[in-house]
Each structure stands twice: as C-alpha cells, then as structure tokens.
Amino acid sequence: MNKKTVKDINVKGKKVLMRVDFNVPMDGERITDENRINGALPTIKYLLSNGAALILCSHMGKPHNVFNSTLKLNKKEKAKIEALPEEERAAATEKALEKAKGDVKKFNLAPVAKRLSELLGQEVIMAEDVIGPDAQAKAAALQPGQVMVLQNLRFHAEEEKNDPEFAKALASMAEIYVNDAFGTAHRAHASTEGVTHYLPAVCGFLIEKELRIMGKALENADRPFVAVLGGAKIEDKLNVINNLLEKVDTLIIGGGMAFTFLKAKGYEVGESLLDESKIDYCKDMMKKAEEKGVKLLLPIDSVCVKEFPNPIDAPIDTLVVDSDKIPADMQGCDIGPKTVELFGEAIKAAKTVVWNGPMGVFENPTLAKGTLGVAQAMADSDAVTIIGGGDSAAAVQQMGLASKMTHISTGGGASLEYLEGKTLPGVAALNDK
C-alpha cells in the first residue's frame, strides 16, 4: 500500500478533519452495534494523543427528504406543495416539516457523539450543523486534544453529489484530512473525495489495515487460496467471480446465486432463485475455471422448502436432496450437510480464505446451518481468514465466531468492489507516500 497514513504526517497543533463511518444501527436513541465506532477508536486516540484538534464527520442512514439540519424542505418537497391548491398548502407544509423533524431526530449523530464521549473518557463537542455557523464557530474554537462531531453529512444533498463548494466549506475548518471510513471508500462523495482537493489527505489505521490484509490476499496470497462467495443475486458478484478466477486456487459458490450455476450444468432447480439471463455467463465462468486450473465447487445437496419463510425466522419444514434432484415445487434455501463437508474440507486445506455472502437464509435458524458450517470451518482453520463485510460479517458476529477470524471488513460494498479489482475513489484520492 503506497498511501500516506497518519504516521507519515505531523498533526501536533493542527486541526484535522477525519471521515469516520458512524453509520451505526439504532433503536430509537440506543446504538445496537458499536463495531464501527470501535473500529475508528485507534486512529481517533492516536490523533488526540499527538496533539491534533479533531473534527469528525460521518453520514447516518439515508435522510434524503431532509435538505439540511435547519429543516428547510428540499426542492422536490417544495414543488409538490406548490402544486397543491392554495388552501391545502399550509397544512401540507406543516406535515412535511413534522416529517423532516422526525428524520432529523432519527438520523441525528448526537447519540453517537455521546457514546464516543463515554468511550474516550472526555467531552465530545456536538455541532448542530455540518458547515453552518455552529460547526464553523465550534471548529474555530477547538483546541489540541479536543474532539468534535459534525452533524449528519447527508442532511446536505451536496455530500453525495460531491459538490465542490460543499467540499471546500468542509475542508475550510481544518488543515489536514484523514479518511478512516472504509465502508464509504467506494463512493466519490464530498467528504471522501472532494475534500482531498483542498487538504493534504492520508488514511487512518482502519483503512490501512483493510488495504494491507485484503491487498495481500488478492495480490500475494499464501496458497492454497480459497474464495467463498454466497448471497442471493449472481448479478452482484459477476465481476468478483471473473476477477477471483484469475487469483484463487479454489472458488466455492453457495447461497441463492449457486442455482444459476446448477441450472447452467443442466440441473433442474425447482422454484429456487434463478437468473435466466446469466446462465451463459455461468457456463463461461465454469469453462474459464477449467482452463485456469481453478477448482470450482458448487453445492452437491440442498436444503429445500415449499414456501419461503414468513416471517423470515418462522419455524419451517425442510427436505434435504441432492442438488440435481430439487423437486419442481420446492426451492433451495441453504446448502446441505454433504456440501458443508465438501466446502469445509477445501477451507481447512487452505492457507488464505476470503468469504463474502451467506450460504443460505441464515436469518432463519433452520436454514443457517450451511452458513454456520462455513464460518466454523474458517474458525477452525490455520489460514488467514478474511470476511468481506455485509451479511457474512453479520453472520459471523451472530454466531459468536468473530474473534476467530483474522480480519472482518468494515465495508460490505467497498470490500466487494475491492474484490472486483476496482479502484476505490476514497482511497485513490489520498496522497501517495
């Protein structure tokens, strides 16, 4: 990795704008999973202990119908209201503003700032806005060793549009920029790419770790190198499969996406998830694997159900059949025990394993055995084990096996694009060593 890190710059007495990923799940004002906050702590503590005055910025959720934290309605809302008869406009405006207020509360970063204050054992100053007068005044008054949090970046539509003026206003509060939000590094937003045009830009320890571990796996892996791909849609993983076939010794495919491969082999898949438009692609990938000498493993048995569980965690009757014998009126919702054993043997023989995507509907305890089997095989392995964020990370956490893995990525979408071999704009924009 040739990008500068926080250790390559002097931050003493400097104001530092740091992009973090505090987009944490909330239940009211209670944070239900603190992993993303904990992931940012090493860089935050390093910068504070080295004399930086730290301005943290993050998004939270998708508050697209709030234009900003002062509760001005966005253009779309205004246009809708102006199209109404005059006598209805006042009530509609009031209703829209009430909804905006609810969104501001729901997507407010204040509970995160409060929790960060407890974790750091010091006051964390909360700004009422992002680039407004309150944020500007608090940033100007910030002293070395102090930390503040700006309000939700996505209260401004300009954030996701990578608006230069918005990026410039963000950058104007600081002298150095640090990106430690790997989960948003695949997006060219104002706070990930735009600000780098106005400030020296380096990465924090979290991004450094992501690039070091995943980069080594993709470019210089200890072999045998095994990749495990799952999840529902093959469309999400087209480029990942193609790229990994250039790099791995074994490619394992499970989850809903496996049924299009099974169909491409000529098997009947019943009511299972199927993308007819990608059957030829699957044939091409199987041919490519053969030509490259890559072992491509597909499920040899499947756990089938008559109807998809509703609600998703409801008790459900299952039937385990060989993958070429799925009944016409049933759908595969997990890999079967013979497949768990087959995949497990390949994982245990590996020196590097990368996993992205569950093996079945793991939210249902009856249909979680395949995902658990893969997770357990990785936990028992001596290999470097990398979980590529998203549902795989959630599954490993849920199953209590997170501590057994070498690395769990903090960015589902970013890690997927990295596995595809794509350039991540939020990383590419940082200064080279």
**For the chain, first and last CA: distance in Å?**
9
- Would you please indicate which residues are annotated as catalytic (active-site) residues? 36, 233, 390, 413
Concatenate the DSSP letters of all residues of 358-379 into one string: -SS-TTSGGG-HHHHHHHHHHH
Q: How many CA atoms lie within 13 A of 378 on its CB side?
A: 33
d(Cα 398, Cα 312) in Å, to the nearest integer? 16
Answer whether 14's CB lies under 8 Å from 187's CB.
no
For 415, list phi and psi in degrees, rounded to 5: -70, -35
d(Cα 11, Cα 3) in Å, to the nearest integer? 17
Answer whether 358's CB lies under 8 Å from 399's CB.
no
- Closest Cα partner for 206 from 422, 11, 44? 44
d(Cα 301, Cα 376) in Å, to the nearest integer? 19
Which spans in 293-368 are helix H?
Answer: 337-348
d(Cα 44, Cα 156) in Å, to the nearest integer? 25
d(Cα 116, Cα 18) in Å, to the nearest integer? 14
Amino acid at site 401: L
